Chains A and B, each alone.
Chain A
Amino acid sequence: MVHLKTGALALTAVLLATTAVSAQQRELKYYGDFDPIPLAAMEALIADFEAANPDIDVVFQNFDHEGYKTAIRNFLTADSPDLANWYAGNRMAPFVAAGQFQDVSDVWEANGLSDSLGSAKASMTIDGKQWGVPYTYYQWGIYFNKDAYAAAGVEVPTDWAGFVANCEKFSEVEIDCLTTGTKALWPGAGIFDYINMRTNGYEFHMDLTAGKVEWTDPRVKATFAEWAKIAPFITSNHAAIDWQDAAALLIQGKAANYVMGNFAVGVFKEGGMTNDNLGFMVFPEITPGIPRAEEAPTDTIHIPAGAKNVEDAKTFLAFVASADAQTKLNGAIGQLPTNKNATVDTSDPFLSAGFETLSTAYALAQFFDRDAPAEMAKVGMEGFQEFMVKPDRIDAILERLEKARQRIYN
C-alpha cells in the first residue's frame, strides 16, 4: 500500500489498495524528489514492488526538487528515512565521507549488479565500495533544428571542423550556431565537458574534475582554444536567460544547435517540434582517435545510515536494479535504464539514439557539477559563463580556477 502525503488522487489509490491490509506489514520509508511524470512512474514501481512483497509497506514522501537538496541534509541527520534519492559521482561523496550513506556492496554482490549495472558502477563506487543503486540516466548531446540547417543551407557536420565552419554560415543568416541559457550556470558546463573530453579524453577530464591537474595546464588551454572558435557564435545574452528560454530560440529556428540532456526533448516537443525537424547528434570528434566518452548523469537511491528497516530497503534496491523494473520505469519517464538487460522504447528516436550512444561509449561522465566537488563546480561554471562572453579573459579565468583548485582539494 502506498501512502502519499500529497494529492487527492493518491488518496483514492490508497483507498482502492487498502482492501487487503494485513497488520503484519513492515514499514519502509522512502524520500524522493520527483517531478510529476517520474513521480507517477515511481509510484507504479512501488505498487509493483508491494505486489511482489505483500509484507512490506512503502511509505513514500515526495519533496520539491530544489528544496530536496537542502532538506536531505536535515533529514539524514535528524529523522532518517530507509531510502533516499540522490545522485552518483562526487555529488554523493560528502554524504559518504560523513558516514550518512550505508555501504550496499552486498546488494551489488548478491544480485550480480556489477555485471548488469556495469556502465554505472564506477560512478557509484567510492573506496572500492558501492553506496547506492542507479535507476535511470540520460544522454547528453547536440540537439539541432533541421529547419535552421536548411535555412543556412548547410549539412549536419561529421567532425568539429565542419561544425565550426557551419557556424560561419549560420551567422551569415543571423542564426545562432549554438544556443544555451546560463542564468542557472549548469548548461554551460555541458559544453565544457564535451569539448574537454573530445580534446583531451575521458581520463584527463576525470583528473581535472578530481583536482589532479592544474587549470593552467596547456591541455586545458587547448580545450578553451577550441571553445573560443565557437564562442562568438553562441547566443549573445545567454547569461540572462534560462535553459528553457534558449530552448525556445531553438524551437523558433533562431538557433541551430543546443548542447543539452535528453530531458529537453519534452520541452522542444511542447514547443511544437517533431521527430521530423528535431535532430540529435553525438558531439563531434575534436582530437582524432580519442575514445568517445559521453555525459550520462545518473539518478540513484541510497540507504541512509540512520535507516531503521535496512533489510527491506536492500530488497527494494535489488528490485529497482532489476531489468524489468527499470524497463517499465524508464519507459514511463522517457529516460534510459542503467541495467543493460533492460529494453528501451524503439519508437522514440532520441531514446534509441541515446541508448546506442551510451552503450557504445568508451566511458561515462556524470556532469561537471557531479564529477567536481560542489565548490569547484560553482567557481568553474561561473568561469565558463564568463569565458563564453569574454573569451579574451581566459588567462585571468584559468588563474582564478587554479587558485580555487588549490584551496578546495587539499
Chain B
Amino acid sequence: MSRYWKRNQLRLAPWLFLAPGLAMFAVYVIIPIFQSLSISFYDWDGLGEAVYIGTDNYVELIDDEAFYISLKNNVIWLALYLLAVPAGLFIAIFLNQTVRGIRIYKSLFFFPFVISQVVVGLMFSWFYAPDFGLFYKLIELITGQGIAILAEEDYVTYGIIVAGLWPQIAYVMILYLTGLNNVAPDQVEAARLDGAKGWKMLWYVILPQLRPATFIAVVVTVIGALRSFDLVSIMTDGGPWGSSRVLSFYMYEQALSEYGFRMGYGAAIAVVLFAIMMVFISGFIWKMWRDETER
C-alpha cells in the first residue's frame, strides 16, 4: 500500500485535492442535468405517478405560444444586456482618473451591484408605477399621458432590462477598472510619443490590453441575460398576460409555481434553455482552451 502510494503520489495527489469539488459538482450540476433530461420525457405533477410520454413535452413546446414569447424575450435580453459592456467600459474610463475623492465616486457607481436584485426590482417597479411613479409622472409631464411600462406588453420587457442593466453596468465597470489598473504605462507613453490620442489611443492601445477584462465581461453578461429570473419575478410575475416571461421564469412557472407542478414540461423547458446556454458556454470554453494552449 505505502509503496504504491510513494510510487504514484504525484499522480494521485491532485485527484485527492480535486475530489471534494468534483463530488459536489457531480451531485449538484452534472447528475441533475441528466435527471432533468430524463424527467422531461415524463408527465409528472411531483406527487403522483410519473408517466412516460416520450417526446410529447417537446412536441407541445413547439406549438406553445408562451414558449415562443419567452424565447423572443430571451433574445431581446441577450442583445440589450450586452450594452452593459460598452457602457461599463465608458464609465470605467471616465472614472479612471485621479481626482480628489474618486474612490467615493467609484463606490457610488458600484453601489447598484451590491444591493440585491430584488431591491433593484422593487425600486424600478415604483419608478414605473402608474399614478405615483417618477417615470410615469415624467412621461405624463412631457406627453400629457402617462405610460405604465409594466402594464404594456410592448414595453414591459425593455423596462425590466433597463432595471437589469443598472447593476450589470456597475459590475462590468468594476471589471474594467481593475483591467485599466493593469494597462502598461510605458506602452501608453510610447503611443503618445508616436502621436496617438483619443479614439486611436483607445482602440489600438488600451482596448487590446483590456481583452481579458472584455472576455470576462461578455461571459458574465451573456450568462446573466440567459438566467434572468429575479427581476421578472419581482417586477411583473411574467405579466401582463405572460408577455414579459423569459425561459427561466416560464420553467419555474410550469414546474414549481402555485399553478404549475408540471415537472416534465418544466424540465423540457430547462433542457431547451440548457441547450441555448451550452452554445455560449462551449464557445467560451473553446476560447479559454485555445488561449491556454497557445501559451
Whether B258 is near chain A, meaning CB under 8 Å from some CB there, is yes
* Min CB–CB distance B135 → chain A (angstroms): 12
The closest CB in chain B to the CB of A66 belongs to B258
Q: Which chain A residues border B47 with CB–CB below 8 Å?
A: 73, 76-77, 94-95, 98, 100
A-chain residues with CB within 8 Å of residue B236 when the two chains form the complex: 183, 240
- Residue among A66, A69, A73, A182 making CB contact with B46, cutoff 8 Å: A73
B148 contacts partner chain A, Cβ-Cβ < 8 Å: yes
A94 to B: closest C-beta gap in Å: 6
Q: How far is the CA of A355 from the CA of B187 in the complex (A)?
A: 84
Residue of A nearest to B261 (CB): A374
Chain A residues 230 to 248 lying within 8 A of chain B, measured CB to CB, are 236-241
Q: How far is A394 from B10 in the complex, measured between Cα atoms in Å? A: 72
Residues of A within 8 A of B258 (CB): 66, 69, 374
> Is A88 an interface residue when CB atoms closer than 8 A count as contact?
no
Shortest distance from the beta carbon of B190 to any chain A beta carbon, whole Å: 56
B28 within 8 A of A: no
* Chain B residues, Cβ within 8 Å of A100: 47
Whether A147 sits at the interface, judged by CB under 8 Å, is no
Of residues 162 to 197 in B, which have CB atoms within 8 Å of A's CB atoms?
none
Please, how many angstroms separate the alpha-carbon atoms of A77 and B258 in the complex?
A: 18
A240-B128, A400-B65 as given contacts; A94 in contact with B45, CB under 8 Å: yes
Minimal Cβ-Cβ distance residue in A for B47? A98
Q: How far is the CA of A73 from the CA of B258 in the complex (A)?
A: 11
Q: How far is the CB of A396 from chain B (nearest CB, A)?
A: 9
A70 contacts which of B131, B237, B256 (Cβ < 8 Å)? B256
Interchain CA distance A375-B242 in the complex, whole Å: 14
- Which of A94, A375, A386 touches B240 (beta carbons < 8 Å)? A386
Chain B hits for A76, CB < 8 A:
47
B5 CB–A CB distance under 8 Å:
no
B150 an interface residue at 8 Å Cβ cutoff? yes
- Determine the distance from Cα of A339 to Cα of B209 in the docked complex, in whole angstroms: 78
Per-residue 0/1 for B138-173: is the Cβ within 8 Å of any A Cβ (1 yes, 0 no)?
000000000011110000000000000000000000
Q: Which residues of chain A are within 8 angstroms of B253 by Cβ–Cβ distance?
A: 378
> What separation, in Å, do the CA atoms of A98 and B45 have in the docked complex?
10
Task: Name the residue on B nearest A375 (C-beta).
Answer: B259
- Chain B 23-49, CB-CB to A under 8 Å as 1, else 0, gives 000000000000000000000011110
Is B262's beta carbon under 8 Å from chain A? yes
- Judged by a CB distance under 8 angstroms, whether A389 is at the interface is yes
Q: Is B224 an interface residue (CB 8 A)?
A: no
Residues of chain B with a CB closer than 8 A to A267's CB = none
Contacts of A241 in B (CB 8 A): 129-130
- Counting contact residues on chain B (CB < 8 A from A), the size range is 20 to 34
Q: Are A238 and B259 in contact (CB under 8 A)?
A: no
B65 touches A239 (CB 8 A): no
Given A69-B258, A374-B260, A374-B261: A183 and B237 interface contact (C-beta under 8 Å): yes
Tell me which residues across on chain B come within 8 A of A37, comparing CB atoms: none
Contact of B259 (CB < 8 Å), options: A98, A377, A385: A377
In the assembled complex, A402 has its CB within 8 A of some CB on chain B: no
Q: Are A240 and B150 in contact (CB under 8 A)?
A: yes
Q: Does A97 contact B (CB under 8 A)?
A: yes
Most B-side CB within 10 Å, residue of A184, A240, A386: A240
Residues of B within 8 A of A375 (CB): 259-260, 262
Beyond A69-B258, A237-B130, A240-B148, is A385–B237 a contact (Cβ under 8 Å)? no
Q: How far is the CB of A236 from chain B (nearest CB, A)?
A: 8
Residues of B close to A369: CB separation below 8 A: 259
The winner among A66, A97, A185, A369 for most chain B CB atoms within 10 A is A185
Contact assessment for B262 and A240 in the assembled complex, using a CB-CB cutoff below 8 Å:
no
Answer yes or no: A211 CB below 8 A from chain B CBs: no
Q: Which residues in window 120-143 of B have CB below 8 A to A?
A: 128-131
Q: With A and B bound together, what is the CA distance between A385 and B236 in angstroms?
A: 13
- Contact between A237 and B259 (Cβ–Cβ < 8 Å)? no
* Residue of A with least CB distance to B258: A69
Which chain A residues lie closer than 8 Å to B262 at the CB level? 375
Kindly list chain A residues whose C-beta atoms are within 8 Å of the C-beta of B240: 182, 239-240, 385-386, 389
Complex contacts, B65 vs chain A, CB 8 Å = 400
For the complex, what is the distance from the CA of A389 to the CA of B241, rounded to whole Å? 10
User: Do residues A185 and B148 form an inter-chain contact, with CB atoms below 8 A?
Assistant: no
**Nearest chain A CB to B267 CB, angstrom units:** 16
A383 close to B (CB within 8 Å): yes
Q: Could you tell me the distance between the alpha carbons of A84 and B128 in the complex, rounded to whole angstroms? A: 40
**How far apart are the CA atoms of A236 and B145 in the complex, in Å?**
12
- The B-contacting residues of A in range 66-107, CB under 8 angstroms, are 66, 69-70, 73, 76-77, 94-95, 97-98, 100
Q: How far is the CA of A237 from the CA of B256 in the complex (A)?
A: 28
Q: Do B241 and A382 have beta carbons less than 8 Å apart?
A: yes
Nearest B-chain residue to A373, judged by Cβ: B259
Q: Are A240 and B130 in contact (CB under 8 A)?
A: yes
Chain B residues with Cβ below 8 Å from A182 are 239-240
Kindly list chain A residues whose C-beta atoms are within 8 Å of the C-beta of B237: 183-185
Q: Could you tell me the distance between the alpha carbons of A187 and B253 in the complex, rounded to whole angstroms?
A: 19
Task: Say whether B241 contacts A239, CB under 8 Å.
Answer: yes
List, in ascending order, chain A residues with CB within 8 A of B130's CB. Answer: 236-237, 240-241
Asked if B239 contacts A238 (CB within 8 A), the reply is no
* A401 → B minimal CB distance (Å): 12
Q: Nearest-CB distance from A32 to chain B (Å)?
A: 17
Report the minimum CB–CB distance from A171 to chain B (whole Å). 16
Instruction: Report A26 CB to chain B, min CB distance, Å.
Output: 29
* B35 CB → nearest A CB, Å: 18
If the complex has contacts A240-B128, A240-B148, are A382 and B239 also in contact, measured as CB distance less than 8 A? yes
Given A183-B236, A374-B258, 5 new contacts (CB under 8 A): A182-B240, A184-B237, A237-B130, A374-B259, A375-B259
B residues whose Cβ falls under 8 Å from a Cβ of A: 45-48, 60, 65, 128-131, 148-151, 236-237, 239-242, 253, 256, 258-262
Q: Which 3 A-B pairs have the closest CB atoms?
A: A239-B240, A378-B259, A240-B151
> What are 20 A-B contacts with C-beta separation under 8 Å?
A73-B46, A73-B261, A94-B45, A94-B48, A98-B45, A98-B48, A183-B237, A184-B237, A236-B148, A239-B148, A239-B150, A239-B151, A241-B129, A375-B259, A375-B260, A382-B239, A382-B241, A385-B239, A389-B151, A407-B60
